[in-house]
Structure 1
Amino acid sequence: MWNRGDSVDKSIQMMLQLAEAAFEQDKTSKIPLVSWLTKMVKWYVRDGRYRPDNLESILQSLLGRSTTMQDCSYATGLGAKLLVLAATVLKTPSCHLFSNYNKPVQTNINPGARKACLWEIARAASAAPTFFPTKQVPQL
């Protein structure tokens, strides 16, 4: 969408379609109490209300399976500087910076952040832990 140079109207329409796919409800029983209990158990077991598969496949199709922040894109072609700040909630809290430009070297920046795939960064930074299970970027 934005990284391909699509118009705002086209991007909005696509986002609405993608939201329907990402937030797809599980099929449950037609009996209200059984349906509610099933949803609650699934929510608890998988650590999120929705399955992450749909969201991850959407992000991969939009951003590419192996595209990183350093790769050439519409944004970098325009000269736009992008920075994503993501915080971890697992084990010890920490902060990670992902950018498409060279930053001054800092001692607290993880070198694996440059190799992280763009779709993984977007998925991890979505900050929707009650809707989707948390995502850990493997390189960090």
Structure 2
Amino acid sequence: MIPTNIVVHQHSKVLELSYDGGAIYKLPFELLRVLSPSAEVQGHGPGQETLQTGKRDVVISSLEPVGHYALKPTFSDGHDSGLYSWDFLYFVCENQEQLWKEHLDKLALAGLDRDAPMTTKGHSCGSH
């Protein structure tokens, strides 16, 4: 489903997506950042995800359309490799409470705080 309107709210740190029928969703920048569909965050397969922390204050510096199928946000922490398809964005809209809970549960299991700085693991995509 393609949004009919997209607004970046820097002050409240939410991406507002409006859809046909009047549905309006506000996705926190932090949630979008920690769920980034990029290989940097998701890894190259199950169990290779990199748990994201320290993203509470991240903002979207710029937002570019990618063809007619996705958005590419650039976040204030420099992350810009995630392509957010319309389907993925709508899925996050519809499931944001559950997705947020799952993220917080993963942090708790790992013994990490949401605001902890990211640690670098020295992993790069080409080092296998």
TM-score normalised over the length of structure 2: 0.26
The structure whose residues are more often helix, as a share, is 1
TM score, norm. by length of structure 1: 0.24
Max radius of gyration: which structure? 1
Structure number with the bigger relative contact order (C-alpha 8 A, sep ≥ 6) is 1
Higher strand proportion: 2
